[in-house]
Each structure stands twice: as C-alpha cells, then as structure tokens.
Amino acid sequence: MKKSVLVMLGILVGVFLLFSLLDRNGEYGAEQLMWLTTHRLQEFSHDPKSVPDQAFDALEKNFEAIIKRDPQSELALQAYLSIGRIYLVKRSYGIARQKIEEGLNRYPQRPDFCALALSFIGRTYELEEDLPQALRIYKRLVNEYPQTPVGLEMPLYIGQIYEREGAQAKAQTTYSQAIDHYRQLADEHPDSDLEIRSLRMLANTYIGLQKWQEAVDTLGEVLIKSGPNQYLDSSQVNLILRSINTISIVELKNYTVPKKIYKEYIRRHPQDGLSRVIKELIKGLNVLEKNSVKIQDKKIP
C-alpha cells in the first residue's frame, strides 16, 4: 500500500513536471512573467524614488526576455509599451520615447500597436508640459491610424486638450472637425464595426458639446444599426439605453424622442431578444411621462 501511495505521488509530480517541460517555451510562461513584472512595476510606481535603479533594470530585462522569446507575439508588443512605462514611472520621458520609438520602427505593420505607441509618446510630451509636441503627435496619430481604437478617440481628445487649456475657439473648431471626421468614417464603412465605433465617438462628441438632440439621435442610430449584428456587447447596449433615456428625460425633457427610437428598433428587429426589453422600456417611459404630467399639473400653494 505504501508503494502504491508513492506511485500516486510520483504520477502527480511526474505529470506536473512533464507538462511544465512540454510548455516551457510556450506563451503561458511569457504571460506569467508579463503579469508578475507588470505587477511589480505597479508596486514601484507608488513611490519610484525609493526603488533602486537595479530593480527597474531587472524589470526591463524581464520585458526584453519576453520580446526575445517571440518578437511577433502580442505580448512582445505589450512588453515594448511596458518598457516605456518603466521610464515613465522614473520620469525619464526622453528615454521612454526612445524605447517606444524602437518598437514603432520595429513593428510598422501593426497599426494598433503603432497607434498605442504614438499615444504613449504624446502622453510623455503632455507630462513634460510640451503641448505643441503632444498635439503634433496626436494629429499624426489621427492621420496615420484613424481606424484604430486609439486613433478613433484622438479627434475628441485633441478638442478636450484645447478646451482644458482655455483655447475655446480652437476647441470648437477641433470639435467640428471631429464631428465631420466621425461622420465621414461612419459613411465610408457602412454595416461594420468601424461604423458603430465612429458613431459612438460622434455621440460622445455631441455630449461633450451638450448638443443633446444630436447626441440622442446618434445614439439611436447606433442602437438601430448595431441591432442583431452583435457589434455591441450587453454592457455597451445597457449604457446606450441609459444614455438615451437620461439625456431625453433630464436634458431634453422629452419622452417622445426615446420612444420613437425604440419603436423604430422594434420595427426593424422584431425578432431580436433586445426588442422584448425595449418594449418594457417603452412601458416604463409611458408611466414616467404620466407621473411627470401629474406633477406639473399640481398647483404650487
């Protein structure tokens, strides 16, 4: 019996060692190293001045090891950005940009990564309070990588920078350009994920400008066009529905606008599961509308 217990232990240890060896060069090991190293970097970022340089160097070596393991993997791209983050934490912005530019030159065929890298470089200029350079980079990002997730957010972000700096006229111009940019992207890529993302950014721009009617109309367009195509996940759909309701009721004080959007959705997608939810929403809006009329009708003594 003792022998069989030892055999069982041996099997457990043997299987563990065998599978660990078979996957020693696999992605899992790199993911583990990535997570642990990123975690340490986050800890260091709380008080970077108290962390010795050797500790940062060790992190950089780990990220370089990940890149060396498989230079074409997604992890390698993340590792480049993480190396940049090390120097960001150390406030060595010039070196951070240098490291990121190495990645930019190495992976010109990866637009999502290049957009993130440019966004990172722009951020370092912002931290150095060199806004002209930051804006130059962001505008380059919009021109070269307009369809990436980061590139899509940039036109709105540039307007927000101008607004933050008190340059209202430039901010308004930038917002108008952003509106045209998003509308053009949406029109050029119908029935696609890009169309939906562009329209969502357009809605966000209108919300930033407090153009409530346009915002609600655009959100309605997003909802109806995304429909059963599954461009949106359930949390995004919930957010859009809440936004439509809140803006319509609180800002526009109009219950007809959202009901019109929802009825159009049901008309276009009668069999969609969301239509059932939207029917309940319409009922809820009817009740709210009735109650709000009652409150308005009450005379104030």
Report if residue 188 touches other proteins, rule: CB under 8 A.
no
Q: Please state, in angstroms and rounded to a whole number, the distance separating the CA atoms of residues 159 and 176.
A: 9
Are 86 and 103 contacting, i.e. CB atoms less than 8 angstroms apart? Answer: no
- Asked if 22 is part of the footprint of other proteins (rule: CB under 8 A), the reply reads yes
The region of 7-15, 107-115, 183-191, 203-211 touching other proteins under the rule CB under 8 A is 7-15
Q: Name the residue nearer to other proteins (CB basis): 23 or 191.
A: 23
- Summarize the chain as % helix, strand, coil (round to 5): 80, 0, 20
For other proteins, which residue of 15, 58, 288, 293 counts as binding (CB under 8 A)?
15
Taking CB under 8 A as the rule, does residue 26 contact other proteins?
A: yes
Locate tokens 């790199």: which residue?
A: 30
The correct pick among 6, 28, 149, 276 for binding other proteins (CB under 8 A) is 28
Rule CB under 8 A: say whether 17 interacts with other proteins. Answer: no
Q: Is 295 in the site for other proteins (CB under 8 A)?
A: no
Stretch that binds other proteins, among 22-30, 160-168, 181-189, 224-232 (CB under 8 A): 22-30
Q: Interface residues for other proteins in 31-90 (CB under 8 A)?
A: 31-32, 34-36, 39
Nearest-approach distance from CB 71 to other proteins, in angstroms: 19
Contact 113, 69 (CB under 8 A): no
Do residues 215 and 207 touch, judged by C-beta distance below 8 A? yes
- Which stretch, 9-17, 140-148, 151-159, 210-218, contacts other proteins (CB under 8 A)? 9-17
Shortest Cβ distance from residue 160 to other proteins (Å)? 28
- How many whole angstroms separate alpha carbon 28 and alpha carbon 270? 45
What's the angle, vertex CA 93, arms to CA 149 and CA 150, rounded to 5? 5
Query: Which amino acid would we find at residue 246?
Result: T
Shortest Cβ 36–other proteins spacing (Å) = 8
Based on the shown chain and the rule CB under 8 A, indicate whether residue 5 belongs to the binding site for other proteins.
yes
17 or 277: CB nearest other proteins: 17
User: Should residue 21 be labelled a site residue for other proteins when binding is judged by CB under 8 A?
Assistant: no
Note the residue count of the chain: 301
Q: Is 1 in the site for other proteins (CB under 8 A)?
A: yes
CB atoms closer than 10 angstroms to residue 30:
21
List 6, 11, 58, 293, residue binding other proteins (CB under 8 A): 11
Two tokens, residue 113? 């990564």
Considering only CA atoms, which of 44, 75, 43 is closest in space to residue 62?
Answer: 75
What does the alpha-carbon distance between residue 121 and residue 62 come to, in Å, rounded to a whole number? 22
Rounded to whole angstroms, the maximal C-alpha distance in the chain is: 92
> What's the closest the beta carbon of residue 27 comes to other proteins, in angstroms?
8
Interatomic CA distance for residues 205 and 85, integer angstroms: 29
Closer CB to other proteins, 85 or 99, in the complex: 85
Query: Could you list the residues that contact other proteins (CB under 8 A)?
Result: 1, 5, 8, 11-12, 15-16, 19, 22-23, 26-28, 31-32, 34-36, 39
